[in-house]
Structure formats: C-alpha cells, structure tokens
Amino acid sequence: MNLIKLSDYLWEIPKTGAMRVPGRVYASAKMIEAMREDPALTQVANVACLPGIVGYSLAMPDIHWGYGFPIGGVAAVDAREGVISPGGVGYDINCGVRLARTRLDFSFVEPRIDQLADALFAKIPAGVGSWGAIPGLSIEQLKEVVSQGAHWALRNGYATRRDLEHTEEGGMLAGADPDRISERAYTRGAKQLGTLGSGNHFLEVSRIDEIYDSKLADALGLELGQVTVLIHSGSRGLGHQTCDDYLKVVGGAMARYGINLPDRQLAAVPISSPEGQAYLGAMAGAANFAWCNRQVMMHLAEQAFLDALSIAPRELGFELVYDVCHNIAKFEEHSVNGQMRLVCVHRKGATRAFGPGHPALPDALRPLGQPVLVPGDMGRYSFVLVGLETAMRETFGSSCHGAGRLMSRMKAKKEAGGRDLRAELKALGVTVRAHSRGGIAEEMPHAYKDVAEVVEVMEAARVTRRVARLKPFAVIKG
C-alpha cells in the first residue's frame, strides 16, 4: 500500500482507481510499519469509494481488519447525495462504553475485591444467551425501548435525569422507527436488556492511577485512587439482527441505484432512498436499545456495589461520567473545504470527540470538550480523554475507540494454551470472573496493542487530550 507521510502521526493513501477521496491514517511510524500489509488499509481505500464521501476516508490508530469497513474507520458522506452503509456501522449498532465514578477510594475496596467481583458477576448476566437481568419484555415494551432509549430506563427506575444528560445524544437518537425492526430482532433482544454479552464486552472496576490534566479531571469529578466502573457493551441480538436484516435489503437494492462497491459487506444505498430511510429508522432504534442496555447494567452494577460493600447509596456516590457510542452513523454539521455541510458520519470502531463549546454537549461538559472513553486490554489500563478543536477540523469530530487487536482470536487462544491466565492476571492485580476460559484467552492483554500508544498518537495529532488513566482490578466477562 502506497502511503505518503504527512506528519509524524498522519499518513495519506493517495486517491487511485475508484476512490473518490484519499484515505488518511492516524498512526506512528512504528504502527504504520506493522500495518503496511494489513488488509485494513485496503479497507480504508475501499471505503473511499462510497458515493457522496467527503474529505477523507479516515482511520484511527487502533485500526484493524474488519469486514467491509476497517474497525477504527470514519467516513462522512453528504447528507443529501451520499449513501448509508449498514456495514459502516457494524453488527453491534451503538456498541459503546460508559464510565461511572464512585466516591470510594481503592483502599476501601481492596480488601473486598472478591465479594465485589462475585456480586457483579451474579447481578449482570454475561456470556452466551445472557438473559434475565430484568423481567422479559413483550414486543410492545421493546418497541418503547427502541423509541425511547435510556428514557425508558428513567421511566422504569433504572436511571436518573442526570444520567441521561451525561449520555451521548441524551441516550436517545432521534428518528427511531420501531416498525422497521424485524420480529426476529425483537425476539433476539427480548431477554437481553441489561446483559453484557461476550467477546470483547466487559465490565471493569478500576482505580484512577494517573491524572494528566488536573483541571479537566476535577471538572469531570475524577481524582487519583478513585474507584470507577467502565461498561463496554452494545445492542445485543436486537442490533446484530437489525444489521443482518438490512445488509440483505441494502445489498439487494444497490444495483437499482447503480452502486458498485469492491466488497459486498460495504453495501450501501442513497440516504434518501426508501431502503436507506428504513435502515436509519431501524438503526436509531437499535442504538436506543443499546443506550438503555448500558443504563440498566449501570443500575445493576450500583446495586452490586451496595450489596457487596454494605454501604449506602450516598456513600457510594455512583454517578455517570459519560457514555459514548463507537459504532454508529449520525447526521452532524462539519466544515468541508471551508463550508459547513450536513454530513452523515459513519463511525465504525471510532468515538465521537467533539471539541469544547460544541452545542451538542450538555451544559456541564461544553466548556471541557466531549469525554472520550478508550478501553485498553484487561491487564493494562483504559483512558479518559476529551475532544479538542482539531477534531472538528480534521476528523469529523472523531477519535480512537480502543487498543485495537494485535493478534487474531485464534492466535491468542493458541498462545494461551496451557497457561493459567486467571492466575497471570491476578498477579497483575486483576481479578477476573468469566463464563468461558476461551473468552479470557481471546482477550488476554497481549492480544491487543498497547492502548497508551494509541491515545498518544491522537494527542500528538491534537485530536484528543488525555485526562486520566484507569487501572482495572476486577473484570467481568462473558
């Protein structure tokens, strides 16, 4: 892959063939060398072929080989003339991360880590099927969930108004159309509200072990030694099925609109087409399910803390710092060639990172910039960042979303063969509760890049700034 170095942290894939715009990759020289032969870069070029794409097909430093879009890809398309691609959002619609803080210091929790991990593991269903967090919902109730998102949680006692204010889009993406979601999708999601799932999803209890910007940390209510909870999950079976349903619809309709793309998984139709509008209505509904899901899990986590530590809610002080989604397509205004344009930003494994002053941010966070939550692997650390003004000019207000895989799941399992990963993690100070050994093996720390290198690239490029580092000490997995 031909790459032109633009700066120490930015590389360009020149426009060739059917590409409509160049590609741009945020990465250090070391990262670029490692990914030069990776299919992910070809996928950046493929995304650049989408009709209506503006600016650049972007890749964040945690980029890795996905299906259709690379994981870590960002593409903005013109809202009137562009296309919507369900593959550019992914199967796990509104997969995302939320961070809750407590008033507890690590020293208070340290002697009770096992009880806390057990309580969280018992309270929050994870793993295959993982159902039964709250009573099963009827299709009519699920339609309320997909229409209302986290507002459903508020109405049903799983949220506070403050939680909603600290959730991207207020926990409810406009335009959800419950009738565009299939019965099978509802059936798959019926018992899964408030459940973690498996794969790379997790709940992680951490302590803050590094503050990079004390002013910002203070404003976000974060301090050294503080215990926090990071939840990574998405729209579960309801979202997976919705993506699957619309890949078929969109794939079948593409030819009618004269769209030809290099990968079937990139299937796209005009945003204005009936198929495009139907997908957007369904996608917003699945996104709302995900916000409600993470909100319910946060509520369950609070209950687990209260039970395990025998403390009062006031002592615990469980509050949402922020909730971000990293698999989504959203209509936003951005500057393109010096002019403000309404674009549909596909973020596939990338996080919105609006800079300070953006009107989409809640009053309390607007002066700071949007919090960006970047989980690492379970043995090392995760980061809290905030968006900077450069993000608005260069990345359609987007930043990285995680560490990015280094090893395939298969290779990770092979490397883990015969090793006692639970004991190894325990030696690193991390207590793990998981339903499957394979799940731990695939997600072992060395299967991932060092997330510190990823966030350093985004900071060097002035897209996001580090605020705090979270060191996990208890992890719940599927």
Partner 1 sequence: MPTKPTATQTEDAALFREFEHTGDLGIELEAPTRAELFRRAAIALAALMVETASVAETEQRQVAVEAQADLDLMHDLLTELLALFTVEGFIWRDASVTEAGRSLRVTLRGEPFDPARHAFRGEIKAVTYHQLMVDNSPGGWRSRVIFDV
Residue 409 within binding range of partner 1, rule CB under 8 A: yes
> Any idea what DSSP says for residue 157?
T
**Rounded CA gap, 171 and 155, in Å?**
13
Stretch that binds partner 1, among 310-318, 327-335, 432-440, 454-462 (CB under 8 A): 432-440
**DSSP-derived pairing of the beta strands 371-374 and 96-105:** unpaired
The two structure tokens encoding residue 77 = 């398309």
Residue 41 within binding range of partner 1, rule CB under 8 A: no
Beta-ladder partners of 210: 469
Residue 348 within binding range of partner 1, rule CB under 8 A: no
Task: Please choose, from the candidates 192, 208, 397, 218, the residue with its C-alpha nearest in 3D space to the C-alpha of residue 290.
Answer: 192
Beta-ladder partners of 99: 230, 322
Q: Which phi and psi (to 5°) does residue 270 adopt?
A: -55, 140
Residue 262 within binding range of partner 1, rule CB under 8 A: no
Burial 354-382 (b: 16+ CB within 10 A, else e): bbbebeebeeebeebbbbbbbbbbbbbbb
Say whether 334 is catalytic.
no
Residue 435 within binding range of partner 1, rule CB under 8 A: yes
Stretch that binds partner 1, among 74-82, 115-123, 280-288, 401-409 (CB under 8 A): 401-409
Residue 247 within binding range of partner 1, rule CB under 8 A: yes
Residue 297 within binding range of partner 1, rule CB under 8 A: no
Subset of 183-202 contacting partner 1 (CB under 8 A): 184, 187-188, 197-199
Residue 419 within binding range of partner 1, rule CB under 8 A: no
Helix (H) or strand (E) holding 321: strand 319-325
Q: How many residues bind partner 1 (CB under 8 A)?
A: 47
Q: How far is the CB of 426 from partner 1 (least distance, A)?
A: 22
Could you give the C-alpha distances from 130 to 82, 119, 197, 325, 478, in angstroms and in order?
38, 16, 6, 21, 8
Determine which residue in the list 32, 142, 267, 470 makes contact with partner 1, applying CB under 8 A.
267
Q: For 184-230, give the DSSP string.
A: HHHHHHTT-TT---STT-EEEEEEEEEES-HHHHHHTT--TTEEEEE
Residue 377 within binding range of partner 1, rule CB under 8 A: no
> Any idea what DSSP says for residue 91?
S
At position 77, the amino acid (one-letter code) is: V
Q: How far is the CB of 240 from partner 1 (least distance, A)?
A: 4
Q: Closer CB to partner 1, residue 216 or residue 266?
A: 266
Q: Closer CB to partner 1, residue 108 or residue 131?
A: 131
Residue 394 within binding range of partner 1, rule CB under 8 A: no
Q: Closer CB to partner 1, residue 265 or residue 295?
A: 265
Q: Closer CB to partner 1, residue 237 or residue 472?
A: 237
Residue 251 within binding range of partner 1, rule CB under 8 A: yes
Residue 422 within binding range of partner 1, rule CB under 8 A: no
Question: Among residues 240, 326, 334, 401, which one is catalytic?
Answer: 401
Q: How far is the CB of 435 from partner 1 (least distance, A)?
A: 6
Instruction: Provide the 3-class DSSP secondary structure of residue 141.
Output: helix
Residue 471 within binding range of partner 1, rule CB under 8 A: no
Residue 275 within binding range of partner 1, rule CB under 8 A: no
**Rounded CA gap, 362 and 364, in Å?**
6
Output the CA torsion 405→408→412→417 (10° steps): 170
Residue 436 within binding range of partner 1, rule CB under 8 A: yes
Residue 375 within binding range of partner 1, rule CB under 8 A: no
CA atoms within 13 A on the CB side of 430: 26
Q: How far is C-alpha 121 from the geometric centre of its chain's CA atoms?
A: 22
The set of catalytic residues is 401
Residues contributing to the site for partner 1 (CB under 8 A): 38, 40, 64-68, 71, 90-92, 127-129, 184, 187-188, 197-199, 237, 240-241, 243-244, 247, 251, 263-265, 267, 405-411, 413-414, 417, 435-436, 438-439, 442, 478
